[in-house]
Chains A and B, each alone.
Chain A
Amino acid sequence: MPKLVSHPDEVKIVSKRFGQGAANIDKYVELGGYDSAKKCLAQGPDWIINEMKASNLRGRGGAGFPTGMKWSFVPKQSAKPKYVLVNGDESEPGTCKDHLIFLHDPHSVIEGTIIAGLAIGAKLGFIYLRGEYRYLLEIMEKAVADAYEKGFLGKNIFGSDTEFNIITQSGAGAYEVGEESALMESLEGKRGVPRIKPPFPAVVGLYGGPTVINNAETIATVPHVIAMGGEAFAAVGTPRNGGTRLFGLSGHIAKPGVYELPMGYNLKKMIYEVGGGVRGGRGLKAVVPGGSSTPVLLPEEIENIGMDFDQVGKAGSMLGSGGVVVIDDQTCIVEFALRTISFYQHESCGWCIPCREGTDWLKKALTRFHAGFGVAKDIDNIQYLAENMMGRTFCPLGDAAAMPTLGFVKKFRKEFEDHLNGKPCPYAKHADLAVV
């Protein structure tokens, strides 16, 4: 069972029911659950979307797109049915927040899905969980069944004449399926290869119908936004970055775990105060601020960063999935880069040339390089390759592979050079790094 952590600086909104048995529907209702959905049912779509816009809630899946705006893109009239799609594919290394939501507060996902459905006029929502999350899928399935039982889902939700249904779905192992259009493909029983955009999902999505797709945390946040009111939620965070976020502290951190902190919380403070600093009192070498796709930050770069989409972006990285990976001063960055690129090589769907071939070659080159068979030119070649992948791939996975690689090579060039000329990995920990 994943351990729950806490810290006084936390502002528990999304996680407020964690550890309280809210997977039980009665408990959830007792804790105020489904009130927001009922309120939305009474208020109607325009009101919901206005609240969402006012909340400054931005997508927790990584890109940080304003949720209210996304919902407003869905055409009011549509010949094809509209859908809500909850993205619980959570596969970005360093990220495990949705895991806790499904485990501790499955009904918040259901309630959020209902609200999204009411907002856009959908009658069917899907909750897609990565295949590895079987026990969480079972929890979700039970929660959905309970909600049907209570009449919160079905033909007449909460006794109204509004219909809303939810189908839960399992993946079967594929990071790329987290990409929104690839997820739709997967849900349609196909290979998880992304679609050409435009058209965007809000117009042509699942089964060709207008579709809102949101990250599970985004969706789980929605009922709270409604309960608090959009403006109150926005007030918790920083400008244009409303509310709180579930930050996952992992790696060489003294007190790893998922902490709910206001948007804009200082990164250095997050590591040293909330997370208790680097494990074993070691020095900090680098921080990956938002999951493996986000470029690494140096200790000197984290001093004044508030963890919101804009500030981290300004610092040359991304808030991403909120998975903060802390790297101590005894870690080999080349090895870390290799493990990172191995992941993308393994997960590249293979559709487009720059990503398919680029990740493969970066992995091969870094494997050789880390094993001590590198030559000086390799470093430039790796950088050249990554630069040439950037912005050229079919979907953002190619960028997600290239960006961190560029970060490592540029910021730790010396460490790469140290691997050259009879100086294999200076840390020599996993010089023979087995690769997936």
Chain B
Amino acid sequence: MADVTFTVDGKKLTAPAGTLLIEACRKAGIEIPAFCYYPGLSLQAACRMCVVRQEKVPKLQTACTTPVAEGQVFITESAEIAQARKSTIELLLGNHPLDCPVCDAGGECELQDMTFKYGAGESLYTEAKQHREEQQWSPAVFYDRPRCILCYRCVRMCGEGMDVWALGIQNRGARAVIAPNGGDQLDCEQCGMCIDVCPVGALTSGSYRYKTRPWEMNHVSTVCTHCADGCKVTLGVRQSNDGSTIIRADNRDKSGINGDFLCAKGRFGFDFVESGDRLTKPLVRDAQGKLESATWEHALRFAAARLKEIRDAKGGSSIGIIGSNTTTNEENYLLQKIARTVLGTNNIDHVRTADYATFSRALAGKASRTVGLRGIAEAPAILLVGSNPTDEHPLLAWELRADVRLNRARLYIANTAEIKLERQARAALRVPPAGYTQLTGYLAGGKSSISDTTFRDALLAEESLVVVIGPELSGATLQSLIEWGLGREHVKFALLGDFANSRGAADMGLSPDLLPGYVPVTAPGDYAAEYPNLPRAPGKSLPEMLSSKLGALLVVGADPVAQQNVAPDVLKSTFVIVQDLFLTETAAIADVVFPSASLYEKTGTVTNTYGDLQLAKKAADHAGVKTDFEILVRLADALGADINKLVPFGKSSVTADLGQSRGAQAGEADRHAVWLAAQGLEPKLSPFDPIAVLDEIERLVPGYKLDRLNLFCGNDVATEPGFVPVSALTATATIEPAHDGLFTSGLLSRYSPALKDLEKHQSAVPAVAVAD
């Protein structure tokens, strides 16, 4: 819309016509107080805190509902306005318990802040306050009516934002309350979004209540370790006996790709970190065949000695490596580098939850045909094929809903089953069971068993389209769909996988046939020089490794035994090394087990399924564990590898790296060091500093030319997969989507009491959309 000019407090401001005054002011740095207004949710005009004076209008106006127009004149602070706000707060405090000292929101309460600002400290009114007992609605959500200021943010967040509609307003007048859908229980997604938006301490979180005060915590922004959407999450951390403990997770800075959003897993599922089942000491199988704890030195030496023995005796091809979907890019990169340059094998793979290899092959050489989450969030038209994002990609679902609601985006859904997002869809196409293979033919207008042509017509009328593809589509099916899209202008793609770093695992070359950046091992390009002794033949895939009685198997952050249903004696003759948080089924049969750190206990980058790269920052400490990065470096060291080659750390390598990768930007290393120091990160002086490997990733991996400044500011940065052409994929990929729901997250959720508890409160039937 055309810009208009108006005056606020004597300053001329410009904004598109129709912008809400409160937003226009915020953008100009003029803060107008608001309880009920919340960006992106419907307008209420209920709290009356945002009142301003508009010239020639008799009454005070609410800035949250006033659209700006040319020539308007506003005053946002004056004695009259201050008085109006003060009296509103006085009124609120009339029935408010003022139990700030014991309230969870104390220190983070908008009512407290406002009271301070407008000085309504003394209570004018001596009447008895309405008392009501606090209610527990679910393991996650508690409600305290006396503290509730009835701003209805929670109700709107749950309904409009989440499309769950589990909260309502009941009774009227001073007796009004917020009420949950199950009478006294909340039967919902337990996302905690309602708690998050509550400006006061009326809604509190079961996991955080009375644990601490906000100012006693350190707040660390990192990346959620659960699904592949990669929400930015702020962990509140407090020092404890055995390191530091995560007290809560939220998204207080709201600058991440997730904006306001976090799902139940991101918000409550951090407690696996504190699980009593965490491994804290290395384990080595003793002469009696029992796993016994050992010192790090002993375990590392023992593991390395055996590995070396096997490598030297039977060759690298007798060793297999299985990597993780939740470890960092640097760890994954290092893992494959060790495999290929130290152990001399291409037998490396990971549990593939989506066919990123085909995705990259289909898009090879095509610029700007993939789309990050921010791009999806504002796409005017989206085709979602497969997947059920509401459960499996909560953030994507949130963004799609918001895009439809706020930007009037058109969502098209093609799925074999009915999914909840169809409530937001402009059109939904029911694909016959196992019918995704026919989809491309249908879209291309050819013959197909799908007869609904209106869906296709509407879709083809779209000028631009983002195609979000579920993990059900792989191989030729995936390839043909992408080819169809490439044949049209303005079509971009995203592929949905599972877990925090599945995309990173694939990007970083945890594949028997592909090096980092999907460079084929058969035509390694620059890697040929960088990776001496790189075996040129593709290695074994994960299923092949498990069935071919390898001499040794190194498993990092994965549980192939459980996941692949491996018979117990298959790995009997294989020397198995496992790095994990827990004694998984694979760890239980291993010969050496190293206790590793979770994503919340390390620094490094992860790539979400849309290719957005983010920096995970170490938040907590767990006594006894080490990061996979450190374990790998030490293992390689014990194997006799040249660590300086493996991890280009230290002054010389930094300088060397500079010249090659960023010629024009000389001096960045210094700036970078300043940056690292400012971020509380160690400069790359240690072989355990993963950022040294990030340098190499940037240098060698196609597509990982990163905007470092932004990355280290804590922002997500795009990876542009300028995928290199692959003539054919040699390994037959088995794609196994995890289909994790709202409360499951692979192995981690099994050790999260919070998620297990919440799962019981999951809504069986989605609520009917509110008819209007």
- Find B46's partner among A174, A351, A368 (CB 8 Å cutoff): A351
B173 and A346 form a contact (CB under 8 A)? yes
CB of A397 to closest CB in B, whole Å: 10
Interface size class of B (residues with CB under 8 A): 35 or more
Q: Mark B81-114, 1 if CB is under 8 A from A, else 0.
A: 0011001101110110000000000000000000
Instruction: Given A353-B92, A365-B125, verify A394-B174 contact (CB < 8 Å).
Output: no
A368 and B127 form a contact (CB under 8 A)? yes
The CA-CA distance from A359 to B127 in the complex, in Å, is: 13
The CA-CA distance from A72 to B459 in the complex, in Å, is: 43
Q: Mark A338-363, 1 if CB is under 8 A from B, else 0.
A: 00000001111111111011111100
B48 within 8 A of A: yes
- Find A394's partner among B45, B125, B172, B175 (CB 8 Å cutoff): B45
B127 and A350 form a contact (CB under 8 A)? no
CB of A137 to closest CB in B, whole Å: 23
Choose among A174, A348, A360, A391 the residue with the greatest number of B CB atoms under 10 Å from its CB. Answer: A360
A354 and B43 form a contact (CB under 8 A)? no
B171 and A392 form a contact (CB under 8 A)? no
B46 and A349 form a contact (CB under 8 A)? no
CB of A413 to closest CB in B, whole Å: 19
A7 within 8 A of B: no
The CA-CA distance from A360 to B129 in the complex, in Å, is: 10
Instruction: Given A350-B175, A350-B176, verify A357-B91 contact (CB < 8 Å).
Output: yes
Instruction: Given A360-B95, A381-B125, verify A392-B88 contact (CB < 8 Å).
Output: yes
B673 within 8 A of A: no
Output the nearest chain A residue to B89 by Cβ-Cβ distance.
A353
A196 and B51 form a contact (CB under 8 A)? no
A364 and B46 form a contact (CB under 8 A)? no
Instruction: Given A350-B150, A353-B48, A354-B48, verify A361-B125 contact (CB < 8 Å).
Output: yes
B310 within 8 A of A: no
Output the nearest chain B residue to A176 by Cβ-Cβ distance.
B172
CB of A75 to closest CB in B, whole Å: 20
The CA-CA distance from A393 to B127 in the complex, in Å, is: 22
- Find A392's partner among B43, B48, B92, B128 (CB 8 Å cutoff): B48
B87 and A174 form a contact (CB under 8 A)? no
CB of B361 to closest CB in A, whole Å: 49
A391 and B59 form a contact (CB under 8 A)? yes
Chain B residues with Cβ below 8 Å from A196 are: 43-45, 65
B48 and A394 form a contact (CB under 8 A)? yes
Chain B residues with Cβ below 8 Å from A347 are: 173
A329 within 8 A of B: no
Output the nearest chain B residue to A380 by Cβ-Cβ distance.
B124
A352 and B84 form a contact (CB under 8 A)? no
Instruction: Given A188-B772, A191-B169, verify A354-B91 contact (CB < 8 Å).
Output: yes
B45 and A353 form a contact (CB under 8 A)? no
Instruction: Given A196-B65, A354-B48, verify A388-B125 contact (CB < 8 Å).
Output: no
- Find B173's partner among A360, A361, A392, A393 (CB 8 Å cutoff): A360
Chain A residues with Cβ below 8 Å from B128 are: 364
A350 and B173 form a contact (CB under 8 A)? yes
Interface size class of A (residues with CB under 8 A): 20 to 34
Q: Mark B149-183, 1 if CB is under 8 A from A, else 0.
A: 11000000000000000000101111110000000
Q: Mark B754-772, 1 if CB is under 8 A from A, else 0.
A: 0000000000000000001
B174 and A353 form a contact (CB under 8 A)? no
The CA-CA distance from A348 to B46 in the complex, in Å, is: 13
Choose among A188, A357, A361 the residue with the greatest number of B CB atoms under 10 Å from its CB. Answer: A357
Chain A residues with Cβ below 8 Å from B171 are: 350
Chain B residues with Cβ below 8 Å from A385 are: 87, 91, 124-125
The CA-CA distance from A118 to B171 in the complex, in Å, is: 39
- Find B84's partner among A188, A368, A392 (CB 8 Å cutoff): A392
A384 within 8 A of B: yes
B305 within 8 A of A: no
Q: Mark A10-37, 1 if CB is under 8 A from B, else 0.
A: 0000000000000000000000000000
Chain A residues with Cβ below 8 Å from B51 are: 392
- Find A353's partner among B65, B83, B149 (CB 8 Å cutoff): B149
B631 within 8 A of A: no
B486 within 8 A of A: no
B47 within 8 A of A: yes
Chain B residues with Cβ below 8 Å from A392 are: 48, 51, 59-60, 84, 87-88
A361 and B91 form a contact (CB under 8 A)? yes
The CA-CA distance from A192 to B169 in the complex, in Å, is: 12
Chain B residues with Cβ below 8 Å from A174 are: 172
The CA-CA distance from A345 to B84 in the complex, in Å, is: 20
The CA-CA distance from A349 to B173 in the complex, in Å, is: 5
Chain B residues with Cβ below 8 Å from A349 are: 172-173
The CA-CA distance from A354 to B92 in the complex, in Å, is: 8
CB of B50 to closest CB in A, whole Å: 12
The CA-CA distance from A368 to B125 in the complex, in Å, is: 11
B127 and A361 form a contact (CB under 8 A)? yes
CB of A63 to closest CB in B, whole Å: 15
The CA-CA distance from A391 to B95 in the complex, in Å, is: 22
CB of B238 to closest CB in A, whole Å: 35
Q: Mark A161-181, 1 if CB is under 8 A from B, else 0.
A: 000000000000010100000
A359 and B173 form a contact (CB under 8 A)? yes
The CA-CA distance from A388 to B87 in the complex, in Å, is: 6
CB of A302 to closest CB in B, whole Å: 27
B94 and A357 form a contact (CB under 8 A)? yes
* Cβ < 8 Å to A, chain B residues 121-146: 124-125, 127-128
A360 and B45 form a contact (CB under 8 A)? no
Chain B residues with Cβ below 8 Å from A394 are: 45-46, 48
The CA-CA distance from A384 to B122 in the complex, in Å, is: 14
Output the nearest chain B residue to A194 by Cβ-Cβ distance.
B45
Q: Mark B66-94, 1 if CB is under 8 A from A, else 0.
A: 00000000000000000110011011101
The CA-CA distance from A348 to B175 in the complex, in Å, is: 10
Cross-chain pairs A/B with CB under 8 angstroms, 16 sampled: A196-B44, A345-B173, A345-B174, A349-B172, A349-B173, A351-B44, A351-B46, A352-B45, A354-B91, A356-B173, A356-B176, A364-B127, A365-B125, A388-B88, A392-B88, A393-B48
Q: Which residues of B contact A (CB under 8 A)?
A: 35, 43-49, 51, 58-60, 65, 83-84, 87-88, 90-92, 94-95, 124-125, 127-128, 149-150, 169, 171-176, 772
List the 5 closest A-B pairs by CB distance, nearest first. Answer: A388-B87, A357-B91, A364-B127, A360-B174, A350-B176
User: Could you list 5 further interchain pairs (A-B, Cβ under 8 angstroms) beyond the known A345-B173, A356-B176?
Assistant: A349-B173, A351-B46, A358-B91, A359-B174, A364-B125
